[in-house]
Amino acid sequence: MEYESAFKQFDINGDGVISTDELQYLLITVGLKPSESEVMIMIESVDMDDNGVLSICEFLQLMSKQHKPFITPKSQFEAVFRTFDYDNDGQLSRIEFKQALFSIGQRCSEDELERLMMNLDRNMDGRISKKEFLSVFMTTQFLRLVIRPRLKTVRLE
């Protein structure tokens, strides 16, 4: 239940605050589907300095209001994987992965999708296993470089 660790994990751009986009991404990863206005209301409920983003103190206050215990990052990404695994076969096909990216607002060309698949599909079987998914998505570098709210293109560097 390390909220400070969770704060750092979801401060994707590393600017020391959690924006509405970052909070919305956090909530999506734990299986919620908040609208942008719902996220803004959550932030406004604890935004002591009225700057529209969450400092660590404000984030801690928001988390203390939640009734569910906070889920660990690994559990979050396992839940995300299960959500994206539409046919429940334990693997993400190219189509499932593209749909997953689309569902979180990430648009990419076929070339970008191909590069992502090549980087994620370590055993080159054309599918992304849960182990392959977690090995990449659990890295801070991936979170900071690739999963950025409202990113127009997807890159894996």
pLDDT in tens, 16-50: 999 998 888 888 777 778 888 888 888 888 888 88
Q: According to the model, what pLDDT value does residue 145 have?
A: 44
Which two tokens mark 31? 């299986």
Contact of 155 with 112, CB cutoff 8 Å: yes
- Under 8 Å CB-to-CB from 57, ≥6 apart: which residues? 48
Interatomic CA distance for residues 118 and 125, integer angstroms: 10
Q: Taking the CB of residue 137, how many other CB atoms lie within 10 A of it?
A: 21
Helix 56-65 with 3-10: angle, nearest 10 deg:
120
Q: According to the model, what pLDDT value does residue 123 have?
A: 92
**Residue carrying the six token digits 């994206």:** 84
Q: According to the model, what pLDDT value does residue 157 have?
A: 37
Interatomic CA distance for residues 123 and 29, integer angstroms: 26
Q: According to the model, what pLDDT value does residue 137 have?
A: 67
Which regions of the chain are under pLDDT 50? 1, 67-71, 140-141, 143-157
Q: According to the model, what pLDDT value does residue 2 have?
A: 65
